[in-house]
A = this chain, B = another copy of it.
Amino acid sequence: MRLRVDPLPAEGLAYPDVVLVVDVIRATTTAAALLEAGAEALYLTAGLEAARAFKDEDVVLSGEVGGLRPPGFDLGNSPREALEAPVGGRIVVMATTNGTRAAHAARGARAILLGSLQNATAVAQEAARLGEEVALVCAGREGQVALDDLYAAGVIGKRLQERGFRAMGDAAALALFLAVHPPWEVLPVSEAALALREVGLWADVEACARVDAHGVVPLHEGFCGEGMVFRRADAEEP
């Protein structure tokens, strides 16, 4: 049983059976929070336009541009807002700059999960259940390695190690060294956190840093148009 870490997603990369996408500030944190809040399913799109294509359907539109809710969208990309949003039983279409794009880059994999600090233990457990080779794919920040994503990959990676997975390669070692530090030391100095502070969303950084806050794991189930459909891993088959 082996785990690897990809510091950045790459179209056409050979992914193992199980891919765990991490965009901790904030897309994958928010995605799990939306399901925790009762959303029936998420449709992740690679960009805003693909999300807008769903606007005449009975869906909730969630997304961000520069950290903020785009015109015509119902929700921003905030895990705090997600928990209070009236999404019970609804389908949420999500479009973010890095996270949903990273999920699309991994769409060839057999199983795709969305990981964050908030669901770290649960997502590691689900990944271990699904396969013997796991890639933790970091979304990064506009093509650059992101501190928060590598950190969360390390925190999740540690939990996979505890389940018998062997870390392969330098990026996995790097993430695991980083995971030695507590989240409140690492996350606040990340560029993603600093950008949220600029737009008055510092409380979101604190929310994203809450390790094992819940046990909800978004699992890829199929496609709906250009949306990748995710539901709770513990949900009944629709």
Interface segment, A79-87, A103-111, A125-133, A170-178?
Answer: A170-178
Is A145 at the interface (CB under 8 A from chain B)? yes
Whether the pair A171, B190 counts as a contact (CB closer than 8 A) is no
A174 to B174, CA, bound (A): 9
Distance from A145 Cβ to chain B, minimum over Cβ atoms (Å): 6
Contact partner of A178 (CB less than 8 A), chosen from B7, B146, B169, B174, is: B174
Number of copies of chain A assembled together: 2
Is A191 at the interface (CB under 8 A from chain B)? yes
Residues in B with CB closer than 8 Å to A191 are: 169-170
A141 to B173, CA, bound (A): 14
Residues in B with CB closer than 8 Å to A147 are: 170-171, 173-174
Contact partner of A177 (CB less than 8 A), chosen from B7, B144, B169, B178, is: B178
Residues in B with CB closer than 8 Å to A201 are: none
Residues in B with CB closer than 8 Å to A170 are: 141, 144-148, 190-191
Residues in B with CB closer than 8 Å to A181 are: 177, 180
From 53 to 97 in chain A, residues with beta carbon under 8 angstroms from any chain B beta carbon are: none
Number of chain A residues whose Cβ lies closer than 8 Å to a Cβ of chain B: 21
Is A150 at the interface (CB under 8 A from chain B)? yes
A177 to B144, CA, bound (A): 18
Is A1 at the interface (CB under 8 A from chain B)? no
B-contact 0/1 string along A168-197, CB 8 Å cutoff = 011101100110110000100111000000
A145-B171 CB under 8 A given contacts A7-B7, A178-B178:
yes
Interface centre among A141, A145, A174, A180 (most CB of B within 10 A): A174
B-contact 0/1 string along A149-183, CB 8 Å cutoff = 01000000000000000000111011001101100
Residues in B with CB closer than 8 Å to A186 are: 173, 177
A191 to B174, CA, bound (A): 11
A141 to B189, CA, bound (A): 27
A190 to B167, CA, bound (A): 11
Residue of B nearest to A168 (CB): B191
A119 to B177, CA, bound (A): 24
Can you identify 15 A-B contacts, CB atoms within 8 angstroms? A7-B145, A144-B169, A144-B170, A145-B171, A145-B174, A147-B170, A147-B174, A148-B170, A170-B191, A173-B186, A173-B189, A174-B174, A174-B178, A177-B181, A177-B186
